[in-house]
C-alpha cells in the first residue's frame, strides 16, 4: 500500500473549492427565484406557483446538503493533513477515506438535484410547446 502524503488531500482543495463555488451560485440563484415566486404568490395565489415553490424548496434543501457534505469533506482533508503532520498515518488514511465518501455523497446529491431541475424545466418547455 502506498503511503498517504500531505499532497494527496491537498489536491482536493482546488476541486472542492470549485464545487463549493458552483453550489453557492446555485444557492444564490434559488434565493432569487424564491423571492420572485414569493412576489408572484402575494399577487396571485396560484396552485402552479405553490408547486414551483415546493420544487425549488426541495432543490434548495438538496443544495444545502451538498454544501454540508462538501464542506465536511474539506474539513476532513485538512484534518488528514494535520494527522499526517503529527505522524498518525493510519488514522489519516481512514479520515481521508471518509472525506472521499462525503465528497461522493455531495456529488450524488448534485446529480439528483440536476435531475429535478431538468424535470422542472421540461414542464416549462411543454407549456410552451402546447400553446
pTM, 2 dp = 0.84
Residue 24 in any domain: the answer is yes
Residue 78 in any domain: the answer is yes
Residue 130 in any domain: the answer is no
Instruction: Quote the pLDDT of residue 39.
Output: 87
Residue 15 in any domain: the answer is yes
The ranges of the chain with pLDDT < 50 are 1
Q: How many domains does the chain have?
A: 1
Residue 53 in any domain: the answer is yes
Residue 62 in any domain: the answer is yes
Residue 1 in any domain: the answer is no
Of 105, 120, 102, 109, the C-alpha closest to 55 is 120
Instruction: Quote the pLDDT of residue 110.
Output: 95
Of 50, 33, 31, 32, the C-alpha closest to 41 is 50
Instruction: Quote the pLDDT of residue 2.
Output: 62
Domain boundaries, position 75: 7-122
- Report how far residue 23's alpha carbon sits from residue 25's, in angstroms, rounded to the nearest whole number: 5
Please answer whether residues 37 and 56 qualify as being in contact, where contact means their C-beta atoms are separated by less than 8 angstroms.
yes
Residue 128 in any domain: the answer is no
69-98: pLDDT as tens digits: 999 999 999 999 999 999 999 999 999 999
- Report how far residue 12's alpha carbon sits from residue 99's, in angstroms, rounded to the nearest whole number: 10
Amino acid at each position: 500500500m502506498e503511503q498517504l502524503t500531505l499532497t494527496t488531500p491537498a489536491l482536493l482543495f482546488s476541486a472542492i473549492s470549485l464545487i463549493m463555488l458552483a453550489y453557492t451560485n446555485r444557492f444564490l440563484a434559488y434565493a432569487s427565484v424564491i423571492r420572485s415566486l414569493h412576489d408572484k404568490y402575494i399577487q396571485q395565489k396560484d396552485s402552479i406557483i405553490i408547486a414551483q415553490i415546493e420544487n425549488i424548496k426541495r432543490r434548495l434543501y438538496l443544495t444545502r446538503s451538498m454544501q454540508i457534505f462538501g464542506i465536511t469533506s474539506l474539513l476532513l482533508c485538512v484534518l488528514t493533513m494535520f494527522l499526517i503532520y503529527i505522524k498518525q498515518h493510519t488514522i489519516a488514511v481512514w479520515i481521508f477515506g471518509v472525506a472521499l465518501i462525503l465528497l461522493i455523497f455531495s456529488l450524488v446529491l448534485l446529480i439528483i438535484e440536476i435531475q429535478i431541475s431538468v424535470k422542472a424545466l421540461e414542464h416549462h418547455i411543454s407549456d410552451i410547446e402546447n400553446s
